[in-house]
């Protein structure tokens, strides 16, 4: 009987710790700056084609114990900043575009920033100017 009670107490303790590690944030679109054809940055406005794509709200999460941010090991994880860099590529019929995405959460201000850099393989030698999307985040309320 004591073993069953001990097992039950330990199970409940571990179960509560598993939930305490994960922090979920609800992020509302704030503003975005996109790179135009002339390589200049312009603030995104509702009349622009990209607005519907960029202006969507987002939900992100991080695990404080394992220093995991959006499912990846964070490059920086401290009391002020959490950031991660992700590399990706888009293949098309005429070539390939490399993507570098840098996601950063400022834990002091609650601002979540996505920076998306592109490089056309075979043409560009360095990363271009980033599209930048910013969100205001709040800790998600749990519903039971």
Quote the percentage of the chain above a pLDDT of 90: 66
pLDDT score at 13: 54
Q: Which residue has the higher pLDDT, 141 or 20?
A: 141
Band (pLDDT 50/70/90 cuts) for residue 76 is very high
The reply to whether 143 falls in a domain is no
The reply to whether 83 falls in a domain is yes
Q: How many domains does the chain have?
A: 1
Mean pLDDT throughout 128-143?
90
Residue 92 pLDDT exceeds 60: yes
The reply to whether 8 falls in a domain is no
Lowest average pLDDT, out of 15-29, 69-83, 123-137, goes to 15-29
Domain containing 89 equals 22-138
Instruction: Tell me the residue ranges of DSSP E strands in the chain.
Output: 22-35, 41-43, 58-63, 68-69, 72-73, 76-77, 81-92, 95-106, 111-120, 131-139
The reply to whether 44 falls in a domain is yes
Q: Return the sign of the alpha-carbon dihedral for residues 9, 20, 77, 129.
A: positive
Dist. CA 8–CA 103, nearest whole Å: 40
Q: Report the length, in residues, of the chain.
A: 144
pLDDT score at 20: 47
Residue 53 pLDDT exceeds 50: yes
């Amino acid at each position: 009987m004591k073993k069953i009670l001990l097992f039950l107490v330990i199970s409940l303790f571990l179960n509560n710790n598993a939930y305490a590690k994960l922090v979920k944030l609800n992020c509302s679109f704030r503003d975005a700056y996109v790179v135009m054809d002339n390589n200049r940055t312009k603030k995104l406005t509702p009349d622009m084609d990209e607005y519907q794509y960029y202006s969507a709200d987002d939900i992100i999460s991080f695990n404080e114990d394992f220093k995991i941010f959006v499912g990846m090991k964070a490059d920086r994880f401290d009391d002020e900043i959490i950031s991660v860099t992700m590399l990706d590529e888009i293949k098309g019929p005429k070539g390939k575009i490399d993507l570098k995405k840098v996601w950063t959460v400022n834990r002091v201000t609650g601002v979540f920033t996505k920076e998306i850099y592109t490089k056309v393989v075979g043409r560009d030698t360095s990363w271009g100017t980033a599209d930048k999307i910013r969100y205001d985040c709040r800790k998600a309320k749990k519903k039971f």
